[in-house]
């Protein structure tokens, strides 16, 4: 029994890792108080304690239900949530809203859903049985924003639904549904895709018979581009799809063909759908309309320019035009939250956030590596990939790597749908991880992994 | 499958590295360029977030202050000028979009507090924001107001200097503008044919006429080219370089000394004297008075004009570059001076031949009222001996007592001065009124407290009738004050 972290059980490591998270939240809230010239009261301390209490409750729940699950995923995700809460709390004063309170409520609700998912999906292989139902649910969710009465258009894209006062971004939940379907479908058909493949003109093509569902996914991505006009989500879905195809079949040519098809489709849509044309043109040259269409991405770059290496300081970056309420950083709480982080905490702050996403991806892929059956492997890979690609799409958008689109920065951006969906995603990853580690420990691993490689 | 999962993770690592690469491009490597972009208003807004210090007049009245609105990162300060246009020209303005001008620009570091490095670092640690220092000036609001009243709407300028210290007590340019309107009306002010934004005291370049004879006289007496009693024949007119040069009114004076020549402003005397002194010596004395370079005053150099002789292309001519010394000696021949320069000439004579550096600021105090810095009077140059200055003072007293400058006389106070009237025919803005009227002088003549230059553009009057009363009024209000 050696001393140090390696000697601790997985759950005790999780518990230890939560302490810095609670500290970050406490210090962050205290910093916002200080910046706003308010009394540094007990309030910021109590926020930290509440947060720690909620995290502890979740930890105990994981300890009881999933004692073998990965110890770092929950603390890392709680870290991003805490960081998001601090950034939102800092925005409250300037935007005259209560973003942090809303987000904290969503966080609690997200953890409730997290607990429910763990409770009801203890044997998550049931998901395979309902894969077509789940796929249809996912597609229905994606279509919902175009439905009359509940659909809502934001900046030319159909991203949300609104039922009464409650708004919802269905793409967030749809991403989980679609990953479950793809993991299940590819688990069953991947060998057929590989075996039946033939070489045509030097390129390995999947058999026509099994190409159908893949074309459906491609069609769905194109469909989203045209009808939902959601460039970011469709990019994220399609990238996760290609990642799963690659991991399932090992055929790089499928990925290349898929990318080529996406490019062709995207080009056609770029030339015909005005909203997409605008987004891409602005990406290529934001200065063509600095006060209009290019405003958001230009302001994003300008705010980052103020950041430098270490940032302007917490709560020091201008979010609204001084003396008014017009935005200087439009959608700072959602699309541009990464910009705000770079502006206030500098390149180091931005890189730190990216590193946390990378750590989550590393743990997620680790779960996939340890899983013993194909569905678990593909599901963990797909969930991790879609999470990482979502972070890439929005950070890439605000840093002008790709066109700026309206997906959220997972767990940091303001938004209930995103928080809820990501904690369900976390629940699935922990379920897979718990089973894999339990099986490895008990030595009764299912079919040998060699069959799958 | 496992090796492919690891490759996929590798792909994610590379993608995220690209994100960090782009972030460092915007946040670090390309940041300076982005801050220069026209579309980037953040630097302007940031400038507005610093509370600039106050600017006050000599009597403590508030010339400029900053008031804040909003809170947190969106707090901003806007400059206000409670006295409107009264100090518009020396003080200028400071606004985020329009920038800084004049005194506000020159003293920007003090007013924004960037000079107090120690305090800055200390405040940074405490999370306190940068606050500017307050700067007081030696400008006198009642003298400013009186100068405006006496100019009475005519375009012109008045500068008053304390000779022994170089303190600027009044600096007035007509027409004025209200700096509070700059944020909304800058383009209109720029296009106004009356050029209200032009600080005529430092940027107005006018032919000095006979007031320049003081410079010629100083050069002649101080260099020994002429004694105080030396007589020169002053006919009604001379032909110099093929052109006739005559006295005002066509009078012939015969053999006269320099006191008489100054009192009656005899052109033929000074034209001959200029030749006797020579280009080289005259230029040397012009240089000592501060001609031919931008004045050494606490205003931005791009808002200061040089006084000197200008060629047809507007380039400054030195001695030996084909200048007509006889005509320079009487203030003609494309000689252009600023009112500030002529006030410095008067102040030098008043101060026994020593030119003090002109200064508008007086003290810098931090927000808690501690004095950070005080203006220490310093000598710019020794222009002439005390004896020469005394001889010139006597001659200038005669100008006011019995010569062309009687309108500048004050009851109970001896005034020394010199008038000037330059004809500038065909000046478009003047609507047919050809004269530039001048008066430069100081008082009390024997113990000077104030030196003044007053000039009026576009008049049909003379320096002695138009400019002398303005100078007299401003001197009177500043004496003993």
Of the candidates B19, B31, B78, the beta carbon closest to that of A354 is on B19
Residue A350 contacts residue B105 (beta carbons within 8 Å):
no
Contacts of A388 in chain B (CB under 8 A): 12, 15-16
Residue B382 contacts residue B345 (beta carbons within 8 Å):
no
Q: Give the predicted TM-score (pTM) of the model.
A: 0.69
Q: DSSP assignment, residue B371? A: E
Most confident of A91-100, A207-216, B64-73, B200-209: B200-209
Question: Please, which pLDDT band fits residue B200 given cuts at 50, 70 and 90?
Answer: very high
Q: Do A302 and B1 touch (CB under 8 A)?
A: no
Q: Determine the distance in angstroms separating the CA of A404 from the nearest CA of chain B, rounded to an integer.
A: 13
Q: Residue B481 and residue B144: Cα distance in Å, rounded?
A: 13
- Give the tokens for residue A141: 């969710």
% pLDDT > 90, chain B: 73
Q: At what angle do helices A42-65 and A10-35 cross, to 10 degrees?
A: 160
Of the candidates A290, A350, A374, the beta carbon closest to that of B23 is on A350
Q: Do B20 and A93 touch (CB under 8 A)?
A: no
Q: What average pLDDT does this structure show over A162-169?
A: 68
Tell me the pairing of strands B243-246 and B237-240: antiparallel
Of the candidates B8, B37, B72, the beta carbon closest to that of A36 is on B72
Nearest to A179 by CA among A232, A241, A230: A241
CA dihedral A199, A201, A205, A211 (to 10 degrees): -130
Q: Do A369 and B5 touch (CB under 8 A)?
A: yes
pLDDT tops 90 at residue A432: yes
Contacts of A320 in chain B (CB under 8 A): 74
Residue A295 contacts residue A330 (beta carbons within 8 Å):
yes
pLDDT digits (tens, 9 = 90+) for A54-90: 989 999 999 999 988 999 999 999 999 989 988 888 8
pLDDT tops 80 at residue B114: no
Q: Determine the distance in angstroms separating the CA of A307 from the nearest CA of chain B, rounded to an integer.
A: 5
Report the b/e string of B421-450 with b at 16+ CB within 10 A. bbeeeeeeebeebebbbbbbbbbbbeebbb
Please state the ipTM of this predicted complex. Answer: 0.90
Q: Residue A257 and residue A205: Cα distance in Å, rounded?
A: 8
pLDDT tops 70 at residue A197: no
pLDDT tops 70 at residue B164: yes
Mutate to test the interface with A, among B10, B11, B18, B19 (most CBs of A within 10 A): B19
Residue A275 is predicted with a pLDDT of 75
Contacts of A381 in chain B (CB under 8 A): 5, 8
Q: Do A351 and B23 touch (CB under 8 A)?
A: yes
Phi, psi of B455 (to 5 degrees): -140, 145
Distances (CA, A) of B14 to A145, B328, B385: 34, 76, 80
Of the candidates B4, B16, B74, the beta carbon closest to that of A357 is on B16
Distances (CA, A) of B343 to A107, B258, B423, B445: 74, 21, 20, 15
Across chain A, mean pLDDT equals 83
pLDDT tops 50 at residue A35: yes
Residue B344 contacts residue B161 (beta carbons within 8 Å):
yes
% pLDDT > 70, chain A: 84
Give the CA count within 13 Å in the CB-facing half-sphere of A187: 22
Nearest to A230 by CA among A291, A164, A169: A169
* Long-range Cβ contact pairs of B459-462 (< 8 A, separation 24 or more): B459/B154, B459/B433, B459/B435, B460/B433, B460/B434, B460/B435, B461/B435, B461/B437, B462/B404, B462/B419, B462/B421, B462/B435, B462/B437
Task: Determine whether A402 is exposed, middle or buried from the number of CB atoms within 10 Å of its CB (0-12, 13-18, 19+).
Answer: buried
Residue B278 is predicted with a pLDDT of 94
Q: Determine the distance in angstroms separating the CA of B479 from the nearest CA of chain A, rounded to an integer.
A: 46
pLDDT digits (tens, 9 = 90+) for A97-156: 888 888 888 999 999 999 999 999 988 888 988 988 998 898 888 878 777 666 666 555
H-assigned helices in B79-209: 88-91, 102-106, 108-112, 117-126, 141-151, 182-191, 200-203
Q: Is A314 left (phi over 0), alpha (psi -120 to 50) or beta?
A: beta
Q: Is A244 left (phi over 0), alpha (psi -120 to 50) or beta?
A: alpha
Q: DSSP assignment, residue A449? A: G
Task: Determine whether A212 is exposed, middle or buried from the number of CB atoms within 10 Å of its CB (0-12, 13-18, 19+).
Answer: exposed
Residue A165 is predicted with a pLDDT of 61
Task: Determine whether A243 is exposed, middle or buried from the number of CB atoms within 10 Å of its CB (0-12, 13-18, 19+).
Answer: buried
Residue B296 is predicted with a pLDDT of 95
Helix (H), strand (E) at residue A152: strand A151-154
Q: DSSP assignment, residue B198? A: S
pLDDT tops 90 at residue B76: no
Residue A450 is predicted with a pLDDT of 40
pLDDT digits (tens, 9 = 90+) for A287-298: 888 888 888 899
Residue B210 annotated to the active site: yes
Q: Determine the distance in angstroms separating the CA of A210 from the nearest CA of chain B, rounded to an integer.
A: 20
pLDDT digits (tens, 9 = 90+) for A17-30: 888 887 887 777 77
The one catalytic residue among B136, B138, B195, B210: B210
């Amino acid at each position: 029994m050696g001393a140090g972290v390696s000697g601790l059980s997985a759950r005790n490591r999780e518990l230890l890792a939560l302490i810095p998270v609670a500290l970050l939240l406490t210090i962050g809230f205290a910093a916002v108080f200080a910046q706003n010239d308010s009394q540094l009261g007990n309030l910021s301390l109590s926020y930290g304690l509440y947060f720690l209490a909620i995290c502890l409750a979740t930890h105990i729940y994981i300890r009881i239900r999933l004692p073998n699950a990965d110890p770092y995923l929950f603390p890392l995700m709680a870290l991003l949530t805490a960081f998001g809460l601090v950034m939102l709390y800092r925005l409250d004063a300037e935007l005259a809203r209560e973003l942090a309170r809303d987000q904290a409520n969503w966080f609690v609700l997200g953890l409730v859903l997290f607990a429910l998912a763990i409770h009801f999906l203890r044997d998550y292989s049931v998901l395979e049985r309902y894969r077509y139902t789940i796929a249809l649910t996912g597609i229905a969710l994606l279509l919902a924003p175009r439905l009359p009465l509940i659909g809502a258009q934001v900046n030319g894209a159909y991203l949300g639904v609104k039922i009464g006062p409650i708004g919802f971004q269905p793409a967030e939940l749809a991403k989980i549904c679609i990953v479950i379907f793809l993991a299940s479908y590819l688990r069953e058909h991947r060998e057929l895709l590989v075996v039946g493949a033939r070489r045509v003109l030097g390129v390995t093509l999947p058999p026509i018979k099994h190409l159908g569902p893949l074309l459906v996914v491609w069609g769905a991505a194109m469909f989203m581009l045209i009808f939902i006009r959601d460039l970011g989500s469709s990019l994220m879905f399609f990238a996760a799809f290609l990642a799963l195809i690659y991991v399932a079949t090992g055929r790089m040519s499928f990925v290349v063909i898929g990318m080529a098809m996406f490019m062709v489709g995207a080009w056609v849509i770029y030339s015909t759908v005005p909203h997409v044309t605008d987004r891409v043109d602005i990406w290529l040259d934001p200065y063509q309309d600095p006060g209009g269409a290019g405003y958001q991405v230009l302001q994003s770059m300008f705010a980052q320019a103020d950041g430098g290496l270490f940032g302007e300081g917490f709560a020091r970056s201008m979010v609204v035009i001084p003396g008014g309420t017009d935005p200087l950083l439009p959608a700072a709480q959602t699309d541009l939250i990464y910009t705000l982080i770079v502006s206030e905490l500098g390149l180091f702050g931005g890189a730190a956030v990216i590193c946390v996403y990378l750590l989550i991806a590393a743990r997620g892929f680790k779960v996939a590596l340890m899983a013993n059956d194909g569905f678990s492997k593909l599901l963990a890979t797909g969930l991790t990939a879609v999470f990482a690609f979502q972070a890439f799409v929005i950070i890439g958008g605000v840093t002008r790597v790709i066109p700026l689109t309206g997906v959220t920065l997972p767990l940091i951006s303001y938004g209930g749908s995103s928080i809820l969906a990501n904690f369900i995603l976390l629940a699935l990853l922990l379920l897979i991880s718990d089973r894999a580690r339990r099986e490895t420990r008990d030595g009764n691993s299912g079919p040998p992994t060699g069959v799958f490689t | 499958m496992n090796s492919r999962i690891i490759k996929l993770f590798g792909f994610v690592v590379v993608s995220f590295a690209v994100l960090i690469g782009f972030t460092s491009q915007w946040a670090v490597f390309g940041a300076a360029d982005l801050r220069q972009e026209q579309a980037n208003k953040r630097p302007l807004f940031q400038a507005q977030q610093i509370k600039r210090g106050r600017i006050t007049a000599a009597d403590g009245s508030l010339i400029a202050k900053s008031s804040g609105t909003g809170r947190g990162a969106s707090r901003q300060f806007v400059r206000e000028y409670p006295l409107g246009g009264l100090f518009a020209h020396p003080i200028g303005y400071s606004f985020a979009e329009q920038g800084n001008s004049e005194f506000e620009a020159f003293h920007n570091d003090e007013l924004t507090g960037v000079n107090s490095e120690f305090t800055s670092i200390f405040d940074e640690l405490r999370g306190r924001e940068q606050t500017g220092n307050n700067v007081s000036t030696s400008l006198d609001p009642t003298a400013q107001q009186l100068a405006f009243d006496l100019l009475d709407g005519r375009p012109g300028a008045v500068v008053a200097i304390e000779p022994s210290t170089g303190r600027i007590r009044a600096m007035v340019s007509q027409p004025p503008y209200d700096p509070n309107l700059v944020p909304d009306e800058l383009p209109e002010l720029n296009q106004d044919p009356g050029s209200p934004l032009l600080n005529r005291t430092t940027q107005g370049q006018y032919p000095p006429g006979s007031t320049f004879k003081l410079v010629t006289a100083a050069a002649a007496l101080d260099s020994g080219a002429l004694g105080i009693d030396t007589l020169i024949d002053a006919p009604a007119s001379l032909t110099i370089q093929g052109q006739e040069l005559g006295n005002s009114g066509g009078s012939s004076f015969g053999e006269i000394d320099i006191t008489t020549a100054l009192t009656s402003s005899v052109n033929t005397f000074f034209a001959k004297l200029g030749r006797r002194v020579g280009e080289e010596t005259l230029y040397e004395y012009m240089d000592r008075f501060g001609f031919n370079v931008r004045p050494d005053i606490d205003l931005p150099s791009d808002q200061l004009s040089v006084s000197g002789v200008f060629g047809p292309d507007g380039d400054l001519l030195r001695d030996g570059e084909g200048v007509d010394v006889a005509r320079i000696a009487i203030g003609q021949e494309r000689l252009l001076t600023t009112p500030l320069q002529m006030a410095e000439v008067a102040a030098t004579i008043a101060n026994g031949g020593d030119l003090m550096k002109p200064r508008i600021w007086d003290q810098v105090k931090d927000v808690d009222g501690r004095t950070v810095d005080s203006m220490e009077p310093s000598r710019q140059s020794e222009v002439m001996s005390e004896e020469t200055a005394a001889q010139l003072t006597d001659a200038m007293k005669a100008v006011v007592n019995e010569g062309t400058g009687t309108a500048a006389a004050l009851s109970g106070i001896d005034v020394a001065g010199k008038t000037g009237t330059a004809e500038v025919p065909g000046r478009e803005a003047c609507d047919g009124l050809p004269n530039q009227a001048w008066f430069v002088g100081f008082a009390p003549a024997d113990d000077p407290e104030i030196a003044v230059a007053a000039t009026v553009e576009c008049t049909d009057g003379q320096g002695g009738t138009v400019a002398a009363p303005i100078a007299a009024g401003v001197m009177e209000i500043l004496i003993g004050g």
